[in-house]
A and B are shown apart, each in its own frame.
Chain A
Amino acid sequence: MTTGEDRQPSGTRPSLFLERQSYRRRRLTDAARLLPILGAALIAIPLLWPGGSSEKGVPLSSAIFYIFACWAALIVASLIFGFAARRMAASDETDSDTDQWQR
């Protein structure tokens, strides 16, 4: 399962240092891939909470607060990423170095 984002354009040797913009772009796509993993991890955390009807159980209000906070954080992160992606796409149109972003 390769999505090809990290693949270099064929024929050019991968250079060690990228331009600042390309570097940011690369890290942004990393973030895009990390985001769902982070989300899944956050959502999985409640599974570690003590369940059942024990005395030390987590009150539902706290659970609601936690879940919805995570949810909101994900939304905000996605929003930020969306704007960043839009900015990158816009700069791509003027920039000839489209390779990394288009893939």
Chain B
Amino acid sequence: MATLNVLILVCLGYVVLLFGVAFAADRMAAAGRGAWLRSPLIYTLSLSIYCTAWTFYGAVGNAARSGLEFVTIYLGPTLVMVSWWWGLRKLVRVGRSQRVTSIADLISARYGKSNTLAICVTILAVLGGTPYIALQLQSITLSFSIFAEADPSGLYREGSSVFWVAAGLAVFAILFGTRNLDANERHHGVVTAIALESVVKLFALLAVGVFVVWGVAGGIGPMMDRIDASEIGQWNVDAGRWTTFIFLSAAAFICLPRMFQVMVVENADEGHLRTAAWAFPLYLLLMSLFVVPIAVVGLDLLPEGSNPDLFVLTVPLSQGNDWLAMLSFIGGFSSATSMVIVTAMALSTMVSNHLVMPIWLSTQGGSGSVSGDVRHVVLVARRVSIAVIMGFGFFYYRLSGGGAALASIGLVAFAGISQILPALVGGLFWRGATRTGALVGLTVGFLLWIYTLLLPGMGGAIMPESILQNGPFGLGWVRPQALFGIEGMDPMVHSVMWSLSLNTLAFCTASLLSFPSPLERLQGAQFVNVFDHSVAPRGWSGSVAQSEDLMIMTQRILGAGPAQEFFQAEVEQQGGRTSLPEPTPAFLERLERELSGSVGAATAHAMIGQIVGGSSVSVEDLLAVADESAQMLEYSSQLEVKSAELSRTARQLREANTKLTQISAQKDSFLSQVSHELRTPMTSIRAFSEIMRDTEGLSGEEQTRYAAIIHDEALRLTRLLDDLLDLSVLESGQVSLNMGGDTLRSVLDRAVSSALAGTSQSLTVRRSKVSERIPLHTDLDRLGQVFINLISNAQKYCDAPEPELTISAHDVGGQIVIDFADNGSGIPPEAQSMVFEKFARVSGDKAGGAGLGLAICREIMQRLGGEISYLPGQGGAAFRVRLPLAYRQAAQ
């Protein structure tokens, strides 16, 4: 006799086994081994969390009450799986390409990353999921109680056992469901454990079935006879319920958070659907194969009034087959636990991403830099959510008392969660579906579901009988179970029909009437045309300065290692050598998806939006939806860029041209100056030489005079050529300086004597020879050339009756400053700026200078590292020569 204690031991052992399997699978996956963990078989088996304890126990109960009606909840999913090619395939592709974390996330992402919608779906899912979890807890307790009855020695207390079961499941879900933050990563441990549980529950049910058919009934033939002879022996199914339930189960199969979790989020390879498309229906078929035989035999064998929901347990027990009953119990236990774990995981992801994170973010003041460890916040939020959801389930079970038939709670939950269907299907296949439409549809369906199904089902305490009978405030046409006066329908069919059809109607109407935001339209295009879009349209634009903020935020969400890896990969992809990637729109897009894997689309969008700021969708992006106009726009913007480039080039060309023209004009004028300076003395020479040749009877005085003119002009030519050569050497920078050391005084001595030598004009030079005792280290000859030029200029141009030149030397600010000032009338102000230009001669210059002297002086002083300038306001003409001190120090 299997005692309660043995049962508990087996139970605990089984749980330990599950922990072990989950742990090992996680380890293997982390080590990169175990390709079979990602096999289509595991995927198919994980889908079987669809078969909960409700299916395991309740199907038999349902069969015992209504015959074949129970197969409807298997046929719906079968049809969905069979049509995977154009249905689930798209859902999975969208889920993977958008890195969707939950069904709420998917809906929110589709409708412009709206968090309002995500919150709605989350609330709906939690409301629908809580009774469902309670149902699983109830099934476990019920099955316990069966064994407790059979074991009078056992000390079994229902309440505490439920509590411990709930707590244990929460721990399991927390341990294996929130190990990694990225909800989009595969939870190999959990999935593998679920797959194992699937095998166990199928095996258990098949074992009971085989026992019943061959052990009790004595073969297939007798079994069939027995079925036909039983009280459910005739086909007697309500057409409304039949079609409604098939539809409902198909809808729930897609919309249930836990199904979405295993089917889309945990999907490792789209190709797995191909296998699951036939393998999962096969699994369902096997699960339901022996349901009717068990029910019929149970009805036969067990006393009137026994709970048909527990025939799976009680039939083997009544036949004394305790171990089979134990196996069956484990099967039911498996069904319940796997469902609860995955549901808790899926719901907690939704709650933390769509309820907790947005609230937490808004309490952060919306500042660009997210402070605190987001990663930690998300994990804690997720763990607490699991605990809270399990708590809800527990309290719901305690409050509801667990009396209702198992199947009906399941169907109520199905009807609730199916309200998502119009928004989901519309979002996947209809680009015109809008956020407003989804919101309105969901709200209408949700409220109708609560009003027509959930509240009436909860009993008189919540919805008084009078309302059911006469409607609220006596309004008969809004009676919860007979809306618009249509009576006599099955309450379930009535509710599903009204809620879903009005939901769809509201969804479509509001979609047609409203106008989607740019982001919605972008996302809509991406969802509906997911097979066409290989590249996501670009949404963000950022600046380099934000990269660091993004990095900090990403580290807080993904953890330092993965974040740095992600950014490094991005840098490499961009081909940069910088430490941070450029926040290109493509990069931001990828980052947002990466983050949305952890915190959901809406939150990730909001967080990046906080940092990058501004609108995420530009007008160009909008046009990118309409391909053609986008191409045209791109083309015209390219043209714009090109024309801007052209005008820039043209401007540069113009500038270059102006410069060239200037240079050419300078050259022209220089050449023409040189020509003038050369031709002028040549003219005199030629004229006088011809005169001397051709004129007879020139006096000796005349001859001498003309010969002197020819000589002077020849000298002038020579000087000019010397100057030109000198200047060209200086200007080309090819001059080599001949550095030497001497005092300023001796340099000036030589310059004065050579400048004044052989001239008739008198010039008094005043010097202060004491101050000239400055040592020099420079090209002495060149410096002397400058001095000679200045002195001879004074000599030539000083128009004072008694010309004087004062030469003074100082040490000013670390520079040697030598001033040459004469007592003439000086240079007129308008000509002062010109004196250093080539061929610039102050008017009245008849002295035969070429006008290159000062230009040469300026070039020389530049080469010597000093400068020469005109010194105005000195009475006469004054020039200042500066030499840097470095030359003096170098000499010391």
Task: Name B273's closest neighbour in chain A (CB-CB).
Answer: A82
Instruction: Check if B243 is an interface residue, CB within 8 A of chain A.
Output: yes
Shortest beta-carbon distance, A69 to chain B, in Å? 11
Compute how far the CA of A77 lies from the CA of B71 in the bound complex, rounded to whole angstroms: 20
Cα A72 to Cα B529 with chains together (Å): 33
Q: Which residues of A have CB within 8 Å of B78?
A: 39, 71, 74-75
Question: A39, B82: Cβ atoms under 8 Å?
Answer: yes
Indicate whether A102 reaches chain B with its CB closer than 8 angstroms: yes
- B68 and A63 contacting across the interface, CB-CB below 8 Å: yes
Of A44, A72, A85, A102, the most chain B CB neighbours within 10 A belong to A85
Residue of B nearest to A82 (CB): B274
Could you list 10 A-B pairs, sorted by A, with CB under 8 Å?
Answer: A36-B80, A39-B82, A44-B243, A47-B242, A53-B234, A58-B234, A60-B235, A64-B68, A68-B285, A89-B271
Q: Which residue of A58, A68, A79, A85 is within 8 Å of B235 (Cβ)?
A: A58
Q: Which 5 A-B pairs have the closest CB atoms?
A: A36-B83, A32-B85, A79-B278, A58-B235, A57-B234
Q: Which of B81, B237, B430 contacts A78 (CB 8 A)?
A: B81
Measured CA separation A67–B69 after assembly (Å)? 11
Residue-wise, chain A 31-69 has the 8 Å CB interface mask toward B (1 for contact) of: 011011001100110110111110001111111100110
Known: A36-B82, A82-B275. A60 touches B281 (CB 8 A): no
Q: Which of A33, A43, A52, A89 contacts B246 (CB 8 A)?
A: A43
Across the interface, do B82 and A53 meet the contact criterion of CB distance under 8 Å?
A: no
Q: Which residues in A have their C-beta under 8 angstroms from that of B292?
A: 60, 64
- The smallest C-beta distance from A1 to any residue of chain B, in angstroms, reads 5
| A32–B83 touching, CB < 8 Å | yes
CB-CB nearest in chain B for A57: B234
Q: How far is the CA of A35 from the CA of B80 in the complex (A)?
A: 10
How far is the CB of A88 from the nearest CB of chain B, in Å? 11
- A49-B235 in contact (CB<8A): yes
Chain B residues, CB < 8 A from A94: none
Q: How far is the CB of A21 from chain B (nearest CB, A)?
A: 18
In the complex, what residue of chain A is closest to B85 when comparing beta carbons?
A: A32
Closest Cβ–Cβ distance, residue A92 to chain B (whole Å)? 12
- In the bound complex, how far is the Cα of B233 from the Cα of A49, in angstroms? 14
Residues A75 and B85 in contact in the complex (CB < 8 Å), given A4-B529, A53-B234, A59-B233: no
User: Scoring B residues 274 to 317 as 1 if CB is less than 8 Å from chain A, else 0, what string do you get?
Assistant: 11011001100100010010000000000000000000000000
Question: Using a CB–CB distance below 8 Å, which chain A residues touch chain B?
Answer: 1-5, 29, 32-33, 35-36, 39-40, 43-44, 46-47, 49-53, 57-64, 67-68, 71-72, 74-79, 81-82, 85-86, 89, 102-103
Flag if B278 contacts A78 (CB, 8 Å): yes
Which B residues from 210 to 228 make CB contacts under 8 A with A? 224-225, 227-228
Q: In the complex, which residues of chain A have a beta carbon less than 8 angstroms from the beta carbon of B429?
A: 1-3
How close is B467's CB to chain A, nearest CB, in angstroms? 32
Verify B86–A33 contact, CB threshold 8 A: yes
Complex Cα–Cα for A68 and B282 (A)? 10
| CA of A86 to CA of B271, assembled, Å | 8
B282→A75 contact, CB < 8 A: yes
Cross-chain contact A51 with B237 (CB below 8 angstroms): yes
| B79, B90, B430: the one within 8 Å of A36 (CB) | B79
Residue in contact with A60 in the complex, picked from B75, B83, B234, B242, CB distance below 8 Å: B234
What residues on A are CB-neighbors of B274 within 8 Å? 82, 85-86
Q: Is the CB of A75 within 8 A of B224?
A: no
> How near does chain B come to A8, taking the closest CB pair, in angstroms?
13
B288 to chain A, nearest CB (A): 8
- B513 adjacent to chain A (CB < 8 Å): no
Q: A35-B82, A47-B243 are in contact. Are A102 and B235 (CB under 8 A)?
A: no
CB nearest neighbor in A for B234: A57
Contacts of A47 in B (CB 8 A): 237, 239, 242-243
B531 CB–A CB distance under 8 Å? yes
Which B residues form the contact surface with A (CB < 8 A)? 67-68, 71, 75, 78-83, 85-86, 90, 224-225, 227-228, 230, 232-239, 242-243, 246, 271, 274-275, 277-278, 281-282, 285, 289, 292, 429-430, 529, 531-532
A60 to B237, Cβ gap below 8 A? Answer: no
Distance between Cα atoms of A81 and B429 in the complex (Å):
23
Find out whether the CB atom of B79 lies under 8 angstroms from the CB atom of A40: yes
- For A67, give its contact among B68, B83, B234, B532 (CB under 8 Å): B68
* A41 nearest CB across to chain B (Å): 11
In the complex, are the beta carbons of B242 and A52 less than 8 A apart? no
* Interfacial chain B residues near A1, Cβ < 8 Å: 429-430
Among residues of A, the one whose C-beta sits closest to the C-beta of B529 is: A4
Distance (Å) between the CB of A90 and the closest chain B CB?
Answer: 11
B83 CB, min distance to chain A CBs, angstroms: 4
Residue of A nearest to B83 (CB): A36
A sample of 4 more A-B contacts (CB under 8 A), given A5-B86, A58-B235, is: A3-B86, A43-B246, A75-B285, A77-B82
Nearest-Cβ distance from residue A31 to partner chain B, whole angstroms: 9
A-chain residues with CB within 8 Å of residue B234 when the two chains form the complex: 53, 57-60
Pairwise interchain contact B228-A59, C-beta atoms closer than 8 A: yes
**Which A residues are in CB contact (< 8 Å) with B85?**
29, 32-33, 81, 85
B289 to A, closest residue via Cβ: A68
* Chain B residues with CB under 8 A of A59: 227-228, 233-235
Cβ distance A99 to chain B, nearest Cβ, rounded Å: 10
**Residues of B close to A3: CB separation below 8 A:** 86, 90, 429
Q: Which residue of A lies closest to B40 (CB)?
A: A82
**Chain B: CB-nearest residue to A7:** B532
Q: Which residues of A lie under 8 Å from residue B227 when comparing CB positions?
A: 59-61, 64
Q: A1-B429, A78-B278 are in contact. Are A63 and B235 (CB under 8 A)?
A: yes
CB pair A60–B277 under 8 Å, yes or no, is: no
A86–chain B nearest beta-carbon distance, Å:
6
Nearest A residue (CB) for B228: A59
Most buried by A among B68, B236, B243, B246: B236
Tell me which residues across on chain B come within 8 A of A62, comparing CB atoms: 235
Shortest CB-to-CB span from A54 to chain B, Å, is 8
Instruction: Given A47-B239, A51-B237, A60-B235, answer yes or no on A75-B79 (Cβ-Cβ < 8 Å).
Output: no
Please measure, in the bound complex, the distance between the C-alpha atom of A40 and the C-alpha atom of B224, giving whole angstroms. 26
Docked-complex contact A72 and B228, CB < 8 angstroms: no
A67 to B78, CA, bound (A): 12
Which residues on A sit within 8 Å (CB–CB) of B430? Answer: 1
Q: Is the CB of B237 within 8 A of A46?
A: yes
**B228 and A60 form a contact (CB under 8 A):** yes
Task: Decide if B236 touches A74 in the complex (CB within 8 Å).
Answer: no
B-side contacts of A72, CB under 8 Å? 285
Query: What are the residues of chain B within 8 A of A86 when measuring CB–CB?
Result: 271, 274
User: How far apart sit A88 and B207, CA to CA, in the bound complex (Å)?
Assistant: 39
Contacts of B68 in A (CB 8 A): 46, 60, 63-64, 67
Give the complex CA separation of A46 and B292 in angstroms: 17
Residues of chain B lying within 8 A (CB to CB) of residue A5: 86
Q: B83 — which chain A residues lie within 8 A by C-beta?
A: 32-33, 35-36
**What chain A residues lie within 8 Å of B80 (beta carbons)?**
36
Instruction: Indicate whether A60 sits within 8 Å of B232 (C-beta atoms), given known contacts A82-B274, A86-B274.
Output: yes
State the CA gap A36–B87 with chains docked (Å). 11
Residues of A within 8 A of B238 (CB): 51
Q: Are B228 and A61 in contact (CB under 8 A)?
A: yes
